[in-house]
Amino acid sequence: MDIPVRIVLVEPTHPGNIGAVARAMKTMGMSDLALVNPQRFPDAEATARASGADDVLAAAAVCDSLIEAIGDCGFVVGTSARRRSLPCPILDPRRCAQLVVERLSSTRVAVVMGTESSGLTNEQMGHCRYLVNIPANEKYSSLNLAMATQILCYELRMAALGDAEGCSVEVREDPPATASELDGLHAHLERVLDGTGFFNPDHPTTLRLRLRRLFHRAELDRTEVNILRGAFAALDPDRRRRS
């Protein structure tokens, strides 16, 4: 899936960062990169750090101004290292990504990253509908440009993939064991253990129920029930005595 969001780097200082941003974008299925007055570009260090995402670098637009880079976009979000006095609404990356993805069908969208040392100026933020802030450790918020881009692009991808699948915990291939298959399993284990003195004859029920509960929690499938029954059979003292 290609996610058509433009990432704009404003006056990036280190060419290595440009390459690492290209790589971060491509891992998340993004390829629209614009550079506003990069200090050095193209550059061997950018290409090296892009590591397989050099197609993103090669297609990057190099612009003279921020407005040139975002001119065709109907929705622009800027990044902000911390909350500023500027009364621009601030979003976390998740909410930002939701808003961006909602708008993709109707307009082009840009996410604007400020220069490494100082971020966006107030003037540059003035082009943004929202600011997005990554809620980093207050005592050490030293996220570099590529790491911040990686997180934002990840959230854009998650939003584009749809949250729907988020809560499906496990993909299971075999059908879950039925209640009667489980009952057979439990009875089998109890029978195998019965002659061993494992169950306290005074309180046999507590331990039995605890074993059952434990296996319920495993949410066994049919194959696993068969595996366990195979193991119980292999360990069955009666069977061993006979053999």
Q: Which residues bind a second copy (CB under 8 A)?
A: 1, 23-24, 26-29, 51-53, 87, 89-95, 130, 134-137, 140-144, 146-147, 150-151, 154, 157-158, 161, 163, 165-167, 169-173, 189, 192-193, 196-198, 207, 210-211, 214-215, 217-220, 224, 227-228, 230-231, 234-237, 240
Cβ 28 to a second copy shortest distance, Å: 6
Cβ 91 to a second copy shortest distance, Å: 7
Pick from 170, 216, 205, 212: nearest CA to 188:
212
Give the tokens for residue 117.
């040392």
Name the helix (H) or strand (E) containing 94: helix 93-103
Cβ 71 to a second copy shortest distance, Å: 22
Rounded CA gap, 93 and 43, in Å? 30
Rounded CA gap, 6 and 30, in Å? 8
Reported as half-sphere exposure (CB side, CA atoms, 13 A), residue 82 has a value of 8
Q: Which is nearer to a second copy, 40 or 95 (CB)?
A: 95
Cβ 65 to a second copy shortest distance, Å: 26
Cβ 34 to a second copy shortest distance, Å: 20
Q: Are 127 and 76 in contact (CB under 8 A)?
A: yes
Q: Are 181 and 225 in contact (CB under 8 A)?
A: yes
Q: Which is nearer to a second copy, 64 or 240 (CB)?
A: 240
Name the helix (H) or strand (E) containing 5: strand 5-10
Cβ 27 to a second copy shortest distance, Å: 5
Q: Which is nearer to a second copy, 62 or 136 (CB)?
A: 136
Cβ-based neighbours of 25, under 8 Å, separated by 6 or more: 7, 31, 33, 53, 56, 149, 153
Give the tokens for residue 139.
């005592």
